[in-house]
Amino acid sequence: MKTLSRAIALTFAFGLSALPAAAQDTDVYLDGFYQQAVDAGESEVIIYNPTTRGLEPVIEAFEARFPEIRIKGVDLFGSKLLARVDSEYAAGGPLGDVVASTPADTPEVGKAGRLISFRPETAAALPEIYVGNEDQWLDWGMTIGGMFYNTSNVTAEDAPKSYADILDPKWKGRISMTSFRIISGTGQAFAAAIRDGVVDRAWFEGLAAQEPFVTERASAATLAVVNGQSDIGLDIPFHYYVEAKAKGAPIEMVFPAEGGISIPRNVGIFEGAKNINAAKLFVAWMFTLEAQAAIAQSGLQGTMPGAPGVDGTPEGLTLHAIDWKTLQENYGGYLTMFQEVFSQ
């Protein structure tokens, strides 16, 4: 089973005596890219990503460290991202410098030969499951997904504690979820749980028998629990949960005993990027301790060994993170199974 043990301090991962030299070497490496970018007149990095707002802690930390370069985010993912990239290359080249999307999108960009191979020294220790085809992209962080419940309708004692618990007959007709019959983030995340033996077809058949409220939009599935239409939600990313709680939503999150589900966020550099040195600087910096700490502040778990844990999540939480190879090789079969199981 592929798991991630979290919240291991860097000092314990690499040893106290190694820290000063390692930090100095990293600074020299990054400053080289920074100087090249400044000398070339590169003052920005244009990043295509699902939500720039979600990257604010990362952007602020980067711009504070490298004040002559600004990050410009363009919110794009899925078919809109792929169409945008296609049109830009058809017109002569990319307008963006970096794509920071998911294993569902970035490999499709890479297939077309539109990402360079680049694995910076700072990512030398990155586990191979987070490394893309021919180093064209690298996973820098992961969502932390779990179940959640309406606190007005369900007590903490009564709430399900595991994916097995959600099949209890008492939850029949009381569960909200995003459809598995279409290509969705929830379906892709659960593909990792299938890969790791956490759930199987029989479990999905049991879930279908619970007659859940099904919607094609994750936001609608979440809202159904927030407004009390459903008592239990099958999947919510931790950073969305924190945002909803801050707005007064009557929900609590459950980190399942079997481990949370996760979709990595990755980063790659466009072939022909105009701000190539600044883009390399940004990608290299994303795998430093400084960046991994900023990633944790955004509510995502960093992928580097020793990455800080996310405040509010359990120590030692296991995450079943989907990888691009599983999506490419197995998700088609999983989707067919989902459509058979949830055919009604």
pLDDT in tens, 311-321: 999 988 999 99
Assess contact for 338 and 180: CB atoms under 8 A. yes
* Cα-Cα-Cα-Cα dihedral sign, residues 170, 173, 179, 184: negative
Cβ atoms within 10 Å of 257's Cβ, excluding its own:
12
* Cα-Cα-Cα-Cα dihedral sign, residues 201, 203, 204, 205: positive
Which regions in the chain score pLDDT beneath 70? Answer: 1-22, 344
Residue 3 tokens read as: 């798991």
pLDDT of residue 262: 96
Cβ-based neighbours of 181, under 8 Å, separated by 6 or more = 338, 339, 342, 343
Query: What is the Cα 246 distance to its own chain's centre?
Result: 21
Cite the beta strand spans of the chain per DSSP E.
44-49, 70-75, 98-99, 138-142, 145-150, 175-178, 213-215, 232-237, 251-254, 260-262, 264-269, 301-302, 319-321
Domains and CATH numbers, the chain: 10-142+264-313 (3.40.190.10), 145-262+324-341 (3.40.190.10)
Q: What 3-state class would DSSP assign to 4? A: coil
Assess contact for 271 and 16: CB atoms under 8 A. no
pLDDT of residue 20: 43
Residue 137 tokens read as: 């992209």
**In the block, residue with structure tokens 């778990």:** 301
pLDDT in tens, 111-159: 989 999 999 999 999 999 999 999 999 999 999 999 999 999 999 999 9
pLDDT in tens, 259-277: 999 999 999 999 999 999 9
pLDDT of residue 229: 96
For 118-167, the DSSP string reads ---GGGTTS-GGGB-GGGS-EEEEE--EEEEEETTT--TTTS--STTGGG
Residue 294 tokens read as: 């900023």
Residue 301 tokens read as: 């778990």
Cα separation, 265 vs 130, in Å, equals 9
